[in-house]
Amino acid sequence: MQIHVVQQGETIFQIANTYDISGQIIIDANELETPDQLVVGQALVIPITGQYYFVQPGDSLFSIGQTFGISYEELAQINAIPVNNILPIGLRLYIPPREKRAIQSNAYIEPIGESVSETLENAAAKAAPYLTFLAIFSYRVNRDGTLTPPPLNGLVETANANDTALMLVVTNLEEGAFSEELGHIILTVQAVQNTLLDQIVNIAQETGYRDVHFDFEFLPAEDREAYNEFLRKAKDRLSQAGLLMSTAVAPKTSAEQTGQWYEAHDYAAHGEIADFVVLMTYEWGYTFGPPMAVSPINEVRRVVEYALTEMPAEKIILGQNLYGYDWTLPFVEGGPGAQAVSPQQAIAIARDNNAQIQYDETAQAPFFTYTDAEGNEHEVWFEDARSIQAKFDLIKELNLRGIAYWKLGLAFPQNWLLLQDNFDITKLE
């Protein structure tokens, strides 16, 4: 796969000619609704085997080879140029595809209401071939330990048809929010735990779940060890039933990090007890916060590097958002929240408002500003092919277990093409 960033005045026809590919293939791959109206700064995925590199000032075969992990001799041979030639600026060099690593992938899906919407059904069907797990979010724990299930409709059949394992997500959500009080009950009342684990095993066996995933958030700090003990108890019970067990943890950068989202999540214990752990490495930019990247790579790296001091890389799954936010400026703390947007929606907003997409190299994330019809200034941060490739590169560099997406239902076609291009997705046996 090739990532191409649209420049001023470029057309699909010109871009297609650059890569010796048909324009329709580019249109289909990127699901372009208005291919004759590209946005300056928009990142397109070009579906070719390998990729092309255009020589920049100061480049040599040696430096380019180092960048792409190929010897300069092989690079010269593939492109039929003498090893000692000076490279002209703009020369197109072909880079062969690299060997792919095997990883596991997961995507959460959150059906709300009485049934699964058509949008979510379609999103699950599209993503399932690229997934090890489809995580059903969520089974909510009641105060007596029983579970309130979400609607499933055809999600089980979709997963089975694509050899995708189902993940049963258990949460302490109550009345639409994570409940500290409910969490404390679950972690301290043995009768509630016994009922809960009985329910989980029964549902998992009846429905065909392969993994049980605990996402308990905003727990009291003093319940940290109680949570660890609950996970040990759950792991023993679930292993006896032939089930995997995983957890989701807040994005910490030290064991001493304060704040209710963080303190009860013990990275070392989760890494020891669970089969794998999902780092919720997103929401730096969030609905009621100031405009910024949702998952800036510099901050994500800090979390992963800390996690690696507490648990092995083969247990770490990197969390990744499939959305961005549109903030109305000026940002006022306590004011109206930002609107969530998919990557495809963000590009449409930029196009409709004649905005140019920029790219923050530190955060490795695209953004733009615009003025709406009422004269309000906006700032939008979202994900694109470049930002997701940065996360894939981090997974490869640090040899992580895989990636987990929050959440299906927001269109991001480039992600799935790049995921397949970078990795072999393993399925459970």
Q: For the domain that residue 267 is a member of, what is the CATH number?
A: 3.20.20.80
| Structure confidence by residue, pLDDT tens digits, 214-226 | 999 999 999 999 9
pLDDT at 98 over 90: no
In a domain, 95, yes or no: no
Domain that holds residue 179: 101-425
Domain identity same for 133 and 255: yes
Q: Which of 370, 373, 387, 213 is nearest to 293 (CA)?
A: 387
Let me know if residue 73 belongs to a domain: no
Residues 312/397, Cβ–Cβ less than 8 Å: no
CB 160 within 8 A of CB 191: no
**How far is residue 407's CA from residue 64's CA, in Å, rounded to a whole number?**
36
Report the SS3 class of residue 423: strand
* 150 and 6 within one domain: no
Same domain as 341, residue 213? yes
Q: Give phi and psi for 397, each to the nearest 5.
A: -60, -45
Outline where 311-352 has alpha helix (H): 343-352
Q: Supply the pLDDT for residue 84.
A: 87
With tokens 């997934």, the residue in question is 131
Q: Is residue 170 part of a domain?
A: yes
In a domain, 394, yes or no: yes
C-alpha span between 216 and 220 (Å, rounded): 11
In terms of domains, do 172 and 318 share one?
yes
Span 149-169, average pLDDT: 98
Query: Is 22 contained in some domain?
Result: yes
Q: How many CB atoms lie within 10 A of CB 403?
A: 28
Predicted confidence at residue 92, as pLDDT, reads 94
pLDDT in tens, 4-51: 999 999 999 999 999 999 999 999 999 999 999 999 999 999 999 999
User: pLDDT value at position 184?
Assistant: 98
Structural domain total, the chain:
2
321 part of a folded domain = yes
Residue 275 sits in the same domain as residue 210? yes
Q: Which two tokens stand for residue 138?
A: 């969520």
* CATH number of domain containing 12: 3.10.350.10
CA distance 113 to 264: 30
**Whether residue 31 sits in one domain with residue 166:** no
Tokens of 129: 């071939």
Residue 249 has pLDDT above 90, yes or no: yes
pLDDT, average across residues 231-238:
98
317 and 420 co-located in one domain? yes
Where among 27, 50, 73 does a domain terminate?
50
* Omega before 22 within 30 of 0, i.e. cis: no
Please state, in angstroms and as integers, the Cα–Cα distance from residue 304 to each residue in 48, 308, 386, 404, following that order. 31, 6, 20, 14
Share the mean pLDDT of the chain.
97
Q: What angle do CA 178, 180, 181 make, to 5 degrees?
A: 120
Are 33 and 158 part of one and the same domain?
A: no
In this prediction, residue 85 carries a pLDDT of 83
pTM of the complete model: 0.95
Residues labelled catalytic? 217
Question: Quick one: 335 and 404 in the same domain?
Answer: yes
DSSP 205: H
**Overall average pLDDT of the 298-326 stretch:** 98
Residue with the two structure tokens 């993940």: 167
Residues 140 and 14 in one domain: no
Q: Are residues 41 and 105 in the same domain?
A: no
Rounded Cα–Cα distance for residues 144 and 54 (Å)? 63
**Percent of the chain surpassing pLDDT 90:** 97
Question: Is 113 inside a domain boundary?
Answer: yes
SS3 content of the chain, % helix, strand, coil (to 5): 35, 25, 40
Which residues are registered as beta bridge partners of 5? 43
Band of residue 99 on the pLDDT scale cut at 50, 70, 90: confident
Are residues 390 and 270 located together in one domain of the fold? yes
Whether residue 159 is contained in a domain is answered as: yes
What is the Cα–Cα distance from 36 to 191, expressed in whole angstroms? 63
Which of 50, 67, 87 marks a domain boundary? 50
